[in-house]
Amino acid sequence: MNKPIIFEGAGVAIATPMYADGSVNFDVLAQMIDFQIKNQTDAIIVCGTTGEAKTMNTDEHIKVIKFVVDEVAGRVPVIAGAGSNDTAYGVALADDAVACGADALLLVTPYYNKTSQEGLIHHFNYIADRAKKPIILYNVPSRTGLNILPETYAELSKHPMIVASKEANGDISALAKSIELCGDNLHFYSGNDDQTTAFMALGAKGVISVLSNIMPREAHNIAQAALDGDFKKSAALQIEYLDMCNTLFCDVNPIPVKRALNLMGFDAGECRMPLYHLSEQNEQKLIACMKKYNLID
């Protein structure tokens, strides 16, 4: 079957701005959403890794999703993070995200508990059986200690509600095998900004991007060139912005990107603990890189 495409291009894995006491700064979140849409973001992914969802309680999580859905008002798709290492909680979170009006759900692989590949199939299918919106899987072994294998993707792609995956394992060969096995039954997005062009050359539909938080138009342009079939242009843009892609990961995400947002004038605040602020060395590295791309004076 041909699965629906939730979005094509560069969707922002949006950071969650916070006050000094750690509460969510909804006024600044509205400013960030407006900035994204004015600068051609193709989708907004809320309450993911970059959004610090795992430090939110359920009430906060749902309030943030609802706020983003209402603020976006249908201008671009909104994908809500609803993954958990507790399958039953994942179902409940998915239900709440759907009730908020999210267009799709992003489900990360179970972390800490982990599971087998067979367990992954049962976990995701259990949630998908009960979900009322399309599901994008999220494979990020560096965070979870668990990797989805191509053969597992092939099995999961049989479920009508599982339509895509954000693939952040960095393994281009595995991506090629997954696309071979799944065909049009499962779409892929790069989970790494520095691999957007390479992923899309193999058939991925775009990227779920950290870079887009501060350079949404540039991230969109990298992906759009690939969608237009101009891979030479896409590759040139990928290389042009590679330094920024890499610098945003000089420390644990989203520490650098929230600092970058602050430097650009968005009062994004600090990350919640256990994440800590940038070292002086990385701060200077980030500032130099932002000046290189004329993001700050």
Domains of the chain, first to last? 9-230 (3.20.20.70)
Q: How far apart are CA 251 and CA 132, in angstroms?
A: 36
The single residue of 3, 133, 138, 189 carrying the catalytic annotation is 138
Residue 18 amino acid letter: M
Residue among 88, 70, 69 nearest 80 (CA)? 69
Can you give the pLDDT at residue 1?
63
The single residue of 166, 205, 258, 285 carrying the catalytic annotation is 166
- Which own/partner contact pairs does 82-91 have at CB distance under 8 Å and 24+ positions apart? 82/47, 82/106, 82/107, 83/107, 83/108, 83/109, 83/138, 84/108, 84/110, 85/110, 85/111, 85/112, 85/113, 85/114, 86/113, 87/123, 87/126, 87/127, 90/123, 90/127, 91/126, 91/127, 91/130, 91/131
Give the pLDDT confidence of 147-206 residue by residue, as tens digits: 999 999 999 999 999 999 999 999 999 999 999 999 999 999 999 999 999 999 999 999
Q: How far apart are CA 145 and CA 297, in angstroms?
A: 40
- 19 given a catalytic annotation: no
Can you give the pLDDT at residue 247?
98
Both tokens of 11, joined, read 């969707």
Helix (H, G, I), strand (E, B) or coil at 169: coil
- 189 given a catalytic annotation: no
Can you give the pLDDT at residue 272?
96
| Ranges under pLDDT 50 in the chain | none
pTM of the full structure: 0.96
Strand partners, 18: 24
Contact 160, 149 (CB under 8 A): no
Can you give the pLDDT at residue 53?
96
